[in-house]
A and B are shown apart, each in its own frame.
Chain A
């Protein structure tokens, strides 16, 4: 029976179909885990502020997300009369999609992952750069002062943080000799997790990753105490929801990238000595990603928002020199060992 259905189409088509199904499953998993990150964030913030957080709807309050989603879907999608309608509608779509797209590069398990592009890291830089347009267009098209200020801040912040984000990851590229994320993970399985040789790159990458997702302490674009809500002040309903979920998708994406780039992807720690740990590769990818997602929340629970000029000087005076030195040092070591 199964062989008969299988023989209806050539095997290549079945492979393409299976790859599409995988991609859809990964997309759904990403969006669902991003949605439940809202619950995780509220519970963890509650834990670290000595309270409970949402614990009423469903088991441990897990149903809170469904309730919130229902509410935000049925809210009136009101658009202020003074906005630029086209860009106003476009901005949340960019925010969501540019955070979703880089996840297709992340190798989840040895045979799961949407794409294995040879210039994967460059694709990530490109989408991270395009994500600025969401905030910029959202702030500009809202035609209000708070939104515009938030958009301006975000543009300057993201551009300055992307400079050294790229440079810090170049150290990895120099060491592994590839832009392909899957090959980077395989290189780490052969040699060593990149957190050890590329520790300074990890430091600057962690800062830049937080800045790219506009999370505390780099949430100056939406500093609620100064700018109402920053670039999404004028948004309501599901358009706001796209910005909101896009932020969490960004967190999941950056956590997954950190896992793949620095922490060996799906490889279990001490997997060489205890091989049974490697039986479920996805488990280790999930555990590591969840750890970084929780770290995002811990940062938000612990740190205040820095002054804007402090943030910019930290980017240009501390992180940029550090990542440059790291790149030069890595290149020197690679050349020396290679010669």
Chain B
């Protein structure tokens, strides 16, 4: 008798799960038709890496190599150079191998000048692997990215042409260490 009810209960549970699955016919689909419909991407999504410019239009990167050091897979390489006309540092070349990049965002966190930033663009496919090696002309954008007012040379103590020591934002004038006067 007990096993008879067990059989009945088993039949009931099977029918119930069949009914529950059938009710899925009337639910909205959980997937989207990707190439036609793009998925919603949050603004801080870690996608394609760009190099941004400061509000004045000069490139932000000072070629400190911190991103290259922070990169766990070692996909960033760059070479420092100095602009002779105003003394600003800039990368002579800046190369990211996107076939290695794993979009961890550590370069963005390491960057002291907010130059390197990750964007919500995720469509990076190429037919040729070599095309995934991005040079500086592919990386550098004309905008400021996520930080609209930040200009490294305006707040940093480094002297360049047109801005001497002590002229930066919130920077006091340099102390003459040779003098005894206060």
Contacts and interface: CB of A to CB of B under 8 A. Distances in A.
Contacts of B25: 47-48
B44 interface: no
A50 B27 contact: yes
B181 interface: no
B124 interface: no
B31 A48 contact: no
B33 A302 contact: no
Given A303-B14, A318-B7, A50 B29 contact: yes
B127 interface: no
Contacts of B24: 47-50
B33 A303 contact: no
A171 to B, nearest CB: 20
Interface in B109-158: none
Contact of B21 (A51, A55, A302): A302
Given A298-B22, A318-B7, A50 B28 contact: yes
B176 interface: no
Nearest to B19: A302
Interface in B21-43: 21-22, 24-25, 27-31, 33
B147 to A, nearest CB: 40
Interface in A301-339: 301-303, 318
Main secondary structure, interface of B, reads: helix
Interface residues of B, number: 15
B53 to A, nearest CB: 41
Nearest to A203: B11
B33 A52 contact: yes
Contacts of A47: 24-25
A303 B31 contact: no
Contact of A298 (B21, B27, B33): B21
A21 interface: no
Interface string A24-58: 00000000000000000000000111111001000
A61 to B, nearest CB: 12
A228 interface: no
A101 B108 CA distance: 68
B172 interface: no
Contacts of B14: 303
Given A50-B30, A51-B29, A52-B33, A303 B17 contact: yes
Contacts, number: 34
B18 interface: yes
B18 A299 contact: yes
Nearest to B20: A302
A49 B14 CA distance: 17
B33 A301 contact: no
A206 B30 CA distance: 32
A103 B30 CA distance: 39
A318 B11 CA distance: 11
B18 A298 contact: yes
Contacts of A49: 24
A301 B27 CA distance: 15
Contacts of A52: 29, 31, 33
A205 B29 CA distance: 34
Contacts of A48: 21-22, 24-25
Given A47-B24, A47-B25, A49-B24, A303 B30 contact: no
A6 to B, nearest CB: 52
A302 B18 contact: yes
A47 B31 CA distance: 11
Contacts of B29: 50-52
A51 B31 contact: yes
A302 B7 CA distance: 19
B31 to A, nearest CB: 5
Given A48-B24, A50-B28, 16 more contacts: A47-B24, A48-B22, A49-B24, A50-B27, A50-B30, A51-B31, A52-B29, A52-B33, A55-B33, A298-B21, A299-B18, A301-B21, A302-B17, A302-B21, A303-B18, A318-B7
8 contacts: A47-B25, A49-B24, A50-B28, A50-B29, A50-B30, A55-B33, A303-B18, A318-B7
Which 10 pairs, one residue from A and one from B, show the smallest C-beta to C-beta distance?
Answer: A302-B21, A50-B30, A302-B18, A51-B31, A48-B24, A302-B17, A301-B21, A48-B21, A50-B29, A47-B25
